[in-house]
Amino acid sequence: MRHFPRYIIALIVFMIVIISCGVAPRDKALSILKEGIKDKSDIIRINAAKALIETGDKEGYEVLYKILQDGDNDAIVAALGALYTLKEQTYSPVLAKLSKNSEPLVRTEAVHLITLSSDTGYKSILTEGINDRIARVRRYSYQGLANLNDARPIMNGLKDDDPLVRISAAKSLGMLGNDQAKNFIKKEMIPRIQILKSGHRQFLALLNWGIHRQFHTLKNF
């Protein structure tokens, strides 16, 4: 059974009361969200803050960034996810610091959010990120560098050990109109597709052979 945050349940109840009493729904809803950002639960505060921002109330940003500074890892990851959904692109020293966090998931989500920005203040972070031991961090770093129109470091991604990172780098180069991406696709992707097609044909041939053999075994039984 799906469980909803308490502030959402409260919002539904209050909306019913509001309608019956004739109180302005928007004002009452905002009042409930304001209460939600003061809740003890990080998740409720994050959801309330996100909802506030979506209504145009910037106070929600203060709540989310406060959690990025003081929350535990789970809360930080949730707040980063909320900011990504909101397409936050403003440079923040807090975000820059989190991109170097020792916790892989925190670091990954921080870099993921950074990819939305074209602020050159993040350039050194993304350049360092392409050497991160976590493949997703490297992938996101190449995506972010594409937004900064910097093809030079992205070229290294075509030689990455992880195939998804190589594809991400090629895609980023393609966004910049770099011919190296086309060469990568011809060299790396087309042979793989041909191998898959060849493997498919071999599988069908083996399947047909097995059916044919089984048929003759039954016939001679």
25 inside domain:
yes
Q: In the chain, pLDDT over 90 holds for what percent of residues?
A: 52
The confidence score (pLDDT) of residue 123 equals: 94
pLDDT tens, position by position, 87-118: 999 999 999 999 999 999 999 999 999 999 99
Give the structural domain span for 169.
89-194
Q: How confident is the model at residue 176 (pLDDT cuts 50, 70, 90)?
A: confident
Q: Say whether both 51 and 122 belong to one domain.
A: no
Q: In the chain, pLDDT over 70 holds for what percent of residues?
A: 69
Higher pLDDT residue, 23 or 113? Answer: 113
Query: Can you give the length of the chain in residues?
Result: 221
Q: Is the pTM of this model over 0.75?
A: no
219 inside domain:
no
Q: Say whether both 2 and 99 belong to one domain.
A: no
Which of 44, 63, 86 is at the close of a domain?
86
45 inside domain:
yes
CA-closest candidate to residue 128, choices 114, 34, 173, 179: 114
Higher pLDDT residue, 64 or 181? Answer: 64
Q: Say whether both 79 and 95 belong to one domain.
A: no
Q: How confident is the model at residue 61 (pLDDT cuts 50, 70, 90)?
A: very high
Nearest-angstrom CA–CA distance, 144 and 126: 7
Segment 24-40 mean pLDDT? 81
180 inside domain:
yes
Segment 173-177 mean pLDDT? 84
Token pair 């994050």 in the structure block, residue? 46
pLDDT at 11 over 80: no
184 inside domain:
yes
| Backbone conformation region of residue 56, classed left if phi is above 0, alpha if psi is from -120 to 50, else beta | left
CA-closest candidate to residue 105, choices 130, 128, 73, 79: 73
- C-alpha 148: how far from chain center: 19
Q: Say whether both 66 and 104 belong to one domain.
A: no
Q: Say whether both 189 and 105 belong to one domain.
A: yes
Segment 127-156 mean pLDDT? 93
Average model confidence (pLDDT) across the chain: 80
Number of structural domains the chain divides into: 2
Q: Say whether both 100 and 59 belong to one domain.
A: no
CA-closest candidate to residue 177, choices 149, 136, 212: 149
Q: Say whether both 5 and 53 belong to one domain.
A: yes
Q: Say whether both 109 and 34 belong to one domain.
A: no
17 inside domain:
yes
Segment 190-208 mean pLDDT? 51
Question: What CATH number did the domain enclosing 125 receive?
Answer: 1.25.10.10
Q: Say whether both 58 and 97 belong to one domain.
A: no
Q: Say whether both 148 and 59 belong to one domain.
A: no
The confidence score (pLDDT) of residue 179 equals: 65
Which of 31, 57, 86 is at the close of a domain?
86
Task: Give the burial class of 139: count Cβ atoms within 10 A of its Cβ; 0-12 exposed, 13-18 middle, 19 or more buried.
Answer: buried
The confidence score (pLDDT) of residue 108 equals: 97
DSSP codes, the chain = -----HHHHHHHHHHHHHHHHT--HHHHHHHHHHHHTTSS-HHHHHHHHHHHHHTT-THHHHHHHHHHHHS-HHHHHHHHHHHHHTT-----HHHHHHTT-SSHHHHHHHHHHHTT---GGGHHHHHHHTT-SSHHHHHHHHHHHHHTT--TGGGGGGG-SSHHHHHHHHHHHHHTT-HHHHHHIIIIIHHHHHHHHHHHHHHHHHHHHHHHHHHHHHHT-
Q: Say whether both 107 and 167 belong to one domain.
A: yes
pLDDT at 37 over 60: yes
Nearest-angstrom CA–CA distance, 93 and 163: 32
Nearest-angstrom CA–CA distance, 152 and 177: 13
The confidence score (pLDDT) of residue 29 equals: 79
208 inside domain:
no
CB of 37 closer than 8 Å to CB of 60? yes
211 inside domain:
no
Q: Say whether both 107 and 62 belong to one domain.
A: no
Which of 35, 54, 86 is at the close of a domain?
86
